[in-house]
Structure 1
Amino acid sequence: MHTTPRTHLTHHTAPDGVAPGAGYTHVVTGAGRLVAVSGQVALDADGDLVGAGDPAAQARQVFENLRRCLAAAGAAFTDVVKLTYYVTDTAHLPAIRAARDARVDVTRPPASTAVQVAALFRPDLLLEIEAWALVGGEAR
């Protein structure tokens, strides 16, 4: 089992016998206050779509919305332990990863799951991302 040194409040682990994650960590543990951020989509503060038909622009807006939600809870991307991606087409994943990598510590990425869905609640939305964060406490 490979474990990275604790530099924050979480512990990132790559279990023996499991293929290494490409841009995510298999196991993230920690202690503290749990922050759950509902799935965010590419709507701006006025509820207008950002980036119609453009997965990169939508991903950037989604990560900005996530940043604002985390900040409202006293958290930051350094506290995120899990991201879940809902995408209408897995071809959008490279654009999503680029937006993610601009926000997270790529040497200690959060755990993640990507799911292709038939549709989101509006047909012009290409992706939705939810986040889980741990704030405070002591990692084990």
Structure 2
Amino acid sequence: MTTEPGRKTAHLTHIAEPPGVAPGTGYTQVVTGTGRLVAVSGQVAFDEERRLVGTGDPKAQARQIFENIRRCLAAAGADFSDLVKLTYFLTDIGHLPAVREARDEFFGDIPLPTSSAMQVSALFMPEVLIEIEALAVVPE
């Protein structure tokens, strides 16, 4: 999924290829906008009863995480089109393709936000493979 340089989505502008910067793969280089900031704490693959979904399955965990992010955004009056930044924490960077597949299921043709991905030695539980935090900007 790619975005066009300067593509606008309501109150946000996605700049996929700033002059002199290599284009990103699977993310947008710059997102600007105006409105109210919404910060979503790092989400893991817990269901509403704090049971881990997808033990040993990074794609199942990523799907649950994006569902949790969707619910958090909705509680703040936002949705995926309002996201400006996703930060991925992975216990194995090899899980990134599964995370991107799950993300794309939720995003559809919405322009992608900026993002960072890092491999970490561990998260707070050994069974948790992925944690994702999000920033959104909602129009006033």
Q: Is the 8 A contact 2:87 2:117 kept in 1?
A: yes
The match for 1:35 among 35, 38, 48 is: 38
Q: Which amino acid aligns with 2:6?
A: T
1:109 aligns with 2:112: yes
Instruction: Give 5+ residue unaligned stretches, structure 2.
Output: none
Q: Is the 8 A contact 1:11 1:29 kept in 2?
A: yes
Aligned to 1:124: 127
Q: Which amino acid aligns with 1:102?
A: E
CA distance in 2: counterparts of 1:107 and 1:35, whole angstroms? 18
Q: Is the 8 A contact 1:81 1:110 kept in 2?
A: yes
Instruction: Give 5+ residue unaligned stretches, structure 1.
Output: none
Question: RMSD value over aligned CA atoms?
Answer: 1.3
Q: Identity across aligned pairs (percent)?
A: 61
Tell me the SS of whatever aligns to 1:51.
coil
CA distance in 2: counterparts of 1:26 and 1:115, whole angstroms? 17
1:12 aligns with 2:2: no
Q: Which amino acid aligns with 2:22?
A: A
Deviations 1:92-122 (A, max 9, x none): 0010000111122546210000010000000
- 1:135 shift after superposition: 0.4
> Aligned residues, how many?
136
Deviations 1:74-104 (A, max 9, x none): 0000100100000000110010000111122
Task: Provide runs of 4+ in structure 1 moved above 3 Å.
Answer: none
Q: Which amino acid aligns with 1:3?
A: P
CA distance in 2: counterparts of 1:135 and 1:99, whole angstroms? 23
1:73 aligns with 2:76: yes
Normalization by structure 2: what TM-score?
A: 0.92
Tell me the SS of whatever aligns to 2:106.
coil
Q: Which amino acid aligns with 1:12?
A: H
CA distance in 2: counterparts of 1:41 and 1:88, whole angstroms? 12
Q: Is the 8 A contact 2:81 2:110 kept in 1?
A: no
